[in-house]
Amino acid sequence: MSDFSCKNKRRACFLDRDGVVNVEVSYLHEPEKTVLETGIVEALKAIHKAGFLAVVVTNQAGVARGKYPESDIAKVHEKLQALLAACGEKIDAFYYCPHHPEHTGECSCRKPNPGMLLQAAKELDIDISQSLMIGDRMSDVKAGINAGCKASYLVRTGYGLETLAKEPDPGCPVSDNAYTAFMDFIKGKK
């Protein structure tokens, strides 16, 4: 491995969307129901200050299930960007999986598969081995591990507490929210 090839690569904080960036709402597809989650603005400020990209990777099986059209995803993301812009922040890129195995067959992008993270790494020149994943479900944590992230954090926002009730020992670092998780990562705490 030559250090030249690695040096210019960027690092990313991969973020699950529902329950991490915005408050969890079942099959969220309405901009008016889109509300920022605790710690996300502080997280994004820290992520960008540290020179990381903030990349959302979200399973949106509601599309495959016919709960909402794929075009609604962009509307929610526009709303999120507007809410974040009001706080001087933004998400650098969004990736979503609109599939569900029972409706559209297996795909490589639905978390815990690493497809979205790998695609982002390719398109945005990200060094995954120096990057991290933050999510509120085990499928998020596993996607980060499957992609080869340096660390994958489970947060207590969104479904986090429910996830921990089912898996008291999730085998990954646990933190209160996206901000505390990112700071734990920066401090090398696991």
- Which residues are near Mg ion by CB under 5 A? 16, 18-19, 136, 158
Work out whether 109 is an interface residue with Zn ion (CB under 5 A).
yes
Query: Is 136 annotated as catalytic?
Result: no
Query: Is 176 annotated as catalytic?
Result: no
Residue with CB nearest Mg ion? 19
Q: Which is nearer to Mg ion, 21 or 151 (CB)?
A: 21
Q: How far apart are CA 134 and CA 14, in angstroms?
A: 6
Work out whether 83 is an interface residue with Zn ion (CB under 5 A).
no
Of the ranges 35-43, 69-77, 90-98, 135-143, which one interacts with Zn ion (CB under 5 A)?
Answer: 90-98
Q: Packing angle between helix 178-186 and helix 40-49, nearest 10 degrees?
A: 30
Q: How far apart are CA 111 and CA 119, in angstroms?
A: 13
**Residue 18 contact among Mg ion, Zn ion, none, beta carbon within 5 to 8 Å by kind:** Mg ion
For residue 113, what is the enclosing H or E element? none
Q: How far apart are CA 79 and CA 32, in angstroms?
A: 8
Q: Which is nearer to Zn ion, 147 or 151 (CB)?
A: 147
Q: How far apart are CA 28 and CA 62, in angstroms?
A: 9
**Residue 41 contact among Mg ion, Zn ion, none, beta carbon within 5 to 8 Å by kind:** none
Strand-pairing partners, residue 58, are 96
Q: How far is the CB of 109 from Zn ion (least distance, A)?
A: 3
Work out whether 21 is an interface residue with Zn ion (CB under 5 A).
no
For residue 39, what is the enclosing H or E element? none
Residues 6+ away with beta carbon under 8 Å from 188: none
Q: How far is the CB of 155 from Zn ion (least distance, A)?
A: 23
Work out whether 97 is an interface residue with Zn ion (CB under 5 A).
yes
- CB 134 within 8 Å of CB 16: yes
What are the residues binding Zn ion (CB under 5 A)? 97, 99, 107, 109-110
Catalytic residue numbers, as ranges:
16, 18
